Amino acid sequence: MTTAPQSSASQAAIRGSSPEAASLYGGPSSRRVRLADLQAAKHRGERWPMLTSYDQYTAGLFDELGIPVLLVGDSASNNVFGNETSLPVTTDELIPLARSVVRSTRRALVVADLPFGSYEASPQQAWSTAVRFMKEAGVHAVKLEGGISNAAQIELLSAGGIPVMGHVGFTPQREHVLSGYRVQGRDHAAEQVVADAQAAQEAGAFAVVLEMVPTAVAARITQKLRVPTIGIGAGPDCDAQVLVWQDMAGLRGGKLPRFVKQYGDLRGALSTAAQRFAEDVRDGVFPAAEHSFE
Site of interaction with ligand KIV (CB under 6 A): 52, 71, 73-75, 113, 209, 232, 242, 244
CB nearer ligand KIV, residue 36 or residue 71? 71
- CB nearer to ligand KIV: pick between 66 and 172: 172
Q: How far apart are CA 23 and CA 181, in angstroms?
A: 34
Sign of CA dihedral 53, 56, 58, 61: positive
Nearer to ligand KIV, 126 or 242 (CB): 242
- Residue 219: phi and psi, rounded to 5, are -65, -40
Residues 132 and 119 sit within 8 Å (Cβ to Cβ): no
Alpha-helical regions (H) of 204-265? 215-224, 245-248
Nearest-approach distance from CB 205 to ligand KIV, in angstroms: 14
**Spatial separation of the C-alpha atoms in residues 178 and 199, rounded to whole Å:** 20
**Which residue is at the shortest CB distance from ligand KIV?**
73
Per the annotation, the verdict on 211 as an active-site residue is yes
Nearer to ligand KIV, 11 or 246 (CB): 246
Distance CA 252, CA 250 (A): 6
How many degrees, rounded to 5, is the angle at CA 139 between CA 127 and CA 228?
Answer: 85
Strand pairing of 164-169 and 48-52? unpaired
Asked if 102 and 112 touch (Cβ cutoff 8 Å), the reply is no
Q: How far apart are CB 158 and ligand KIV at their closest, in Å? A: 19
Nearest distance from C-beta of residue 263 to ligand KIV, angstroms: 16
> What are the backbone angles phi and psi of residue 52, rounded to the nearest 5°?
-75, 160
> In this complex, which beta carbon is closest to ligand KIV, that of residue 74 or of residue 237?
74
Catalytic residue among 84, 211, 279, 290: 211
The CB-of-248 to ligand KIV minimum distance in angstroms stands at: 10
* Minimum CB distance to ligand KIV, residue 220 (Å): 20
Angle at 269 between CA 268 and CA 272, to 5 degrees: 85
Catalytic residue numbers, as ranges = 211
